[in-house]
Chains A and B, each alone.
Chain A
Amino acid sequence: GAVVSQHPSRVICKSGTSVKIECRSLDFQATTMFWYRQFPKKSLMLMATSNEGSKATYEQGVEKDKFLINHASLTLSTLTVTSAHPEDSSFYICSARQGLASTGELFFGEGSRLTVL
């Protein structure tokens, strides 16, 4: 199947700094990518939908100025956690949709664990 890769897989940063997480579709072009957040023992929560060449669509309750999403190419979306605080510590997962149809299969990255000290 198609491969989606996230980098870094783990990152530790100090409070107040910004952290960038990359999501790449390695063998297909992804017009649409999605960013999720997972808290311990909780389900994955959709944060935003990232469309190549346009602004991301954020879910209710997600601060767009806090979680900056850029989808500058068909194979790369980035999530930047700005001015990170300990409560931003979480597991962030991206997925990419193969094909243009809204029913296209989703492929997930392996996730990035952020720890803010």
Chain B
Amino acid sequence: GDSVTQMEGPVTLSEEAFLTINCTYTATGYPSLFWYVQYPGEGLQLLLKATKADDKGSNKGFEATYRKETTSFHLEKGSVQVSDSAVYFCALSTGTASKLTFGTGTRLQVTL
């Protein structure tokens, strides 16, 4: 079946550091890939997505590139801020966008 593996956290970084959160997947067919973010006390929010190989999703300074050859969708940001502290979930869907398979989530903590 479909699955998503992402690095365990927590990830602790200083402000302005470079961020990478690794995400790899296994799926039947050609999945769409997503990153969701959950800020403290809030619901998951879509951060970015990519629907086909080599697509790059980007939003709020975050980027992720759909790599079919390595089945990866790593999340990157060049300079993190304290306000980026949250839990980040990698997810995929095959078929309809509604049925999402999530990774375990990676908690990011950014300090001054």
Contact = CB atoms under 8 A, between A and B. Distances in A.
Contacts of A102: 95-98
Interface stretch (A42-50, A71-79, A82-90): A42-50
Interface string A12-53: 000000000000000000001010100001111010010000
A91 B92 CA distance: 21
A29 to B, nearest CB: 16
A14 to B, nearest CB: 27
Interface residues of B, number: 22
B93 to A, nearest CB: 9
Contacts of B73: none
A104 B102 CA distance: 18
A70 B8 CA distance: 35
A42 B104 contact: yes
Interface in B84-112: 89, 95-105
Contacts of B17: none
B105 A43 contact: yes
Contacts of B69: none
Interface range for A: 20 to 34
Contacts, number: 53
A44 B38 CA distance: 13
A95 B8 CA distance: 24
Interface string B21-36: 0000000000000001
A61 B14 CA distance: 43
Given A41-B104, A43-B105, A106 B96 contact: no
A106 B100 contact: yes
A69 interface: no
Interface in B41-98: 41-46, 89, 95-98
A108 B100 CA distance: 12
Interface of B: 4, 8, 36, 38, 41-46, 89, 95-105
